[in-house]
Chain A
Amino acid sequence: MTTTTDTAYAPATEALATVLAPTTRPPRPSAWSASMTFGWRAMLKIKHVPEQLFDVTAFPIMMTLMFTYLFGGALAGSPTEYLQFLLPGIMVTSVVMITMYTGIEVNKDIEKGVFDRFRTLPIWRPSTMVGYLLGDVLRYFMASTVILLIGLLLGFRPGGGFAGVVLGIALLLVFSFAFSWVWTMFGLLMRNEKSVMGVSMLVMMPLTFLSNVYVDPATMPGWLQVFVNASPISHLVSSVRSLMGGAPDMGEIMWVLVSSAVLVVVFGTLTMRLYNRK
């Protein structure tokens, strides 16, 4: 009876050197590079699930047409006249409403387990979150452009010209980026995407309707005016309206910029704390 003894194969150092990368370990990606990569991932998601763009295209178009033609005559005498007042507001409403999808996407990725993979990577920790938001900024820009084009077709004529429109949209994108951090926090807090959507709708519906988007607050009861005039959406609409109208209201614009910074500092910090604890 013969026995064979198995000896572990140990490759020679020279043989190993030929298959292993001879260069030094690649450097860690910068914060910017990592964020842009995750931003690109968010954009690829849009490419693969184009139905997502319904909220960016069809919904704003429907809202613009509905309010212009159904309510325009009763609210301002004629649809075209009402459109000059309405369009910046509808743009703000539509873009701010779709900020909640950031939280929903974050929550989906957590449920799928993708987040656990990301956390093992040698990257700047907030880059996953920043990436989501950068990808979403593209969606916000698309929504703004769609509404602007529809508005121009229907007869919207901004007094601020091209520069006023560009600055108005830029301010809207800055605020929306900042506001999205609120939903990333909820995306990390809530158990499922339905809960995230429920909470966000509960916040967004009163904020958008109880504002100066559709009607002048002066026509509302006194107690409601107090709420409407204090609403962040009202401040944002007033500043975008002033930029597009060609008479920038610096007080409102500063309010929006400061509140955007506060939102990023507060909710960005909370989001990252929750993310690190996950």
Chain B
Amino acid sequence: MSTPVTAAGDLRRLVVRGLRRDVRVLDGLIVNTALPVMIMVLFVYVFGGAITTGSSGLAYIDFVVPAVLLMSGGYGAALTAVAIAEDMTGGMIDRFRTLPISGWTVPAGHVVASVIRNVLSSAIALAVALLLGFRPVASLTDWALVLALVTGYVLAMSALAAVWGLLVSSSQAAGAFSFVVLFLPYVSDGIVPAQTMPGVLRDFAYNQPLTPIIETMRSLLLGLPMGASGAVATAWLAGTVVICVPVAAVLFRRRTSAR
């Protein structure tokens, strides 16, 4: 039985493995570097001049940045499902089972590697936004809270992706999750004001988890009144992590013991 110290060592090695794999897989590297740049440029320059931000009165770049930060980190986080599914179906898991390591560190390694990688991806998106003219008025505390929100979102999406990756039987099926995550910000108050959407979509946009997260980030970055969005955002993120982490652990144990 492994001690907390050896388990931490196992986790560290598996995180390093995950990060190394990302550097070596060209597709992943492009997703994590080019995608944030492309999304930011596309929305600011192609759509920015035509989209009205409604009653907020914000410049479009100020309006869209929080959503793009989440899109950049979230899409890569969703690909955790593919990485886990590949390990589960590609025989790698049988190798791990012969090693004296804690079982939970395998999915946890994927999740932690994903958080590191995708928070960096969001940082690239932020750097591009600043180059394009985004001028936040956030204090140091506000920046820390924004970082916490982005990290929390990436962690929640990675944990959810881990559950999905353990549920499905192939890496192709696991890949479907990334499209859901990439699509979710569009049906929120992040890319276009939800008030401009038709009834059903508007109701969904106001009540889905991304809208309060985006509104909280917007408030922190631009010094706007926050209201209840901060508490709702925290509840969504904490709830997702608290539910998904133990579920992933149970699923992993079941999948590996049934072999």
A-side interface residues toward B, CB under 8 Å? 66, 69-75, 79, 205, 209-210, 214-216, 219-221, 224
User: Which A residues touch B42, using CB under 8 A?
Assistant: 209
**Which of chain B's residues has its CB closest to A219's CB?**
B49
B186 proximity list for chain A (CB < 8 A): 66, 70
Q: A74-B193, A75-B51, A215-B50 are in contact. List 12 more A-B contacts (CB 8 A).
A: A69-B198, A70-B187, A70-B192, A70-B197, A70-B201, A71-B47, A74-B196, A209-B42, A215-B47, A219-B50, A220-B49, A224-B45
* Residues A216 and B201 in contact, CB atoms below 8 Å apart: no
Interface residue SS majority, chain A: helix
Q: How many residues of B contact A (CB 8 A)?
A: 19
Q: Chain B residues near A79 (CB, 8 Å)? A: 198
Q: Which residues of A contact B201 (CB under 8 A)?
A: 69-70
Once A209-B42, A214-B46, A220-B46 are accepted as A-B contacts, the answer to whether A74 and B198 lie under 8 Å apart by CB is no
Contact digits for B49-85, partner A, Cβ 8 Å, 1 yes 0 no:
1111010000000000000000000000000000000
Are B45 and A70 in contact, with the CB atoms below 8 A?
no
Q: How far is the CB of A51 from chain B (nearest CB, A)?
A: 11
Residue-by-residue, is B187-206 near A (CB-CB < 8 Å gives 1, otherwise 0)?
10001110011100100000
> How many angstroms from the CA of A211 to the CA of B198 in the assembled complex?
26
B191 touches A221 (CB 8 A): no
What are the 10 closest A-B residue pairs judged by CB atoms, nearest first? A73-B196, A219-B49, A74-B192, A215-B50, A219-B50, A74-B196, A74-B51, A75-B50, A70-B186, A224-B45
Query: What is the minimal beta-carbon distance from B44 to any residue of chain A, in angstroms?
Result: 9
Chain A residues lying within 8 Å of B198, measured Cβ to Cβ, are: 69, 73, 79
Are the C-beta atoms of B51 and A71 separated by less than 8 Å?
A: yes
Which one of A70, A72, A210 has the highest number of Cβ atoms from chain B below 10 Å of its Cβ?
A: A70
A75 to B196, CA, bound (A): 9
Give the distance in Å from the alpha carbon of A216 to the alpha carbon of B50 in the complex. 8
| Among candidates B46, B50, B196, residue contacting A224 with C-beta atoms closer than 8 Å | B46
Most chain A CB within a 10 A radius of its CB, from B42, B47, B54: B47
Residues of B near any A CB (own CB < 8 A): 38, 42, 45-47, 49-52, 54, 186-187, 191-193, 196-198, 201
Decide: B197 and A73 in contact? CB cutoff 8 A.
Answer: yes
Q: Which of B38, B50, B52, B186 has the most CB of A within 10 A?
A: B50
Known contacts A66-B186, A79-B198; decide if A73 and B192 are in contact (CB<8 Å).
yes
A74 touches B49 (CB 8 A): no
In the assembled complex, which residues on chain B have CB atoms less than 8 Å from the CB atom of A210?
Answer: 46
Cα A224 to Cα B46 with chains together (Å): 8
Residue from B49, B52, B54, B197 in contact with A215 in the complex, judged by beta carbons closer than 8 Å: B49
Q: Once the chains are docked, how many angstroms separate the CA of A205 from the CA of B193?
A: 25
Q: How far is the CA of A66 from the CA of B186 in the complex (A)?
A: 9
- Establish whether residues A69 and B197, one from each chain, have CB atoms under 8 Å apart when the complex forms: yes
Give the chain A neighbours of B196 by CB distance below 8 A. 72-74
Q: How far is the CB of A83 from chain B (nearest CB, A)?
A: 12
Tell me whether A221 and B52 are in contact in the complex, defined as CB-CB below 8 angstroms, given that A69-B197, A74-B192 are known contacts: no
Complex alpha-carbon distance, A79 and B51, angstroms: 13
CA separation between A79 and B199, bound complex, in Å? 12
Closest chain A CB from B3 CB (angstroms):
44
Closest to B183 in A: A66
A-B contacts, 13 of them at CB < 8 A, read A69-B201, A70-B186, A70-B187, A71-B51, A73-B192, A73-B196, A73-B197, A209-B46, A214-B46, A214-B47, A215-B47, A215-B50, A219-B50
Q: Evaluate contact between A220 and B192: CB separation under 8 angstroms.
A: no
Q: A residues within 8 A CB of B193?
A: 74
Q: Give the shortest distance, in Å, between A149 (CB) and chain B (any CB).
A: 20
Shortest Cβ distance from B191 into chain A, in angstroms? 7
CA gap between A224 and B44 in the complex, in Å: 12
Which residues of chain A are near B38, meaning CB under 8 Å?
205
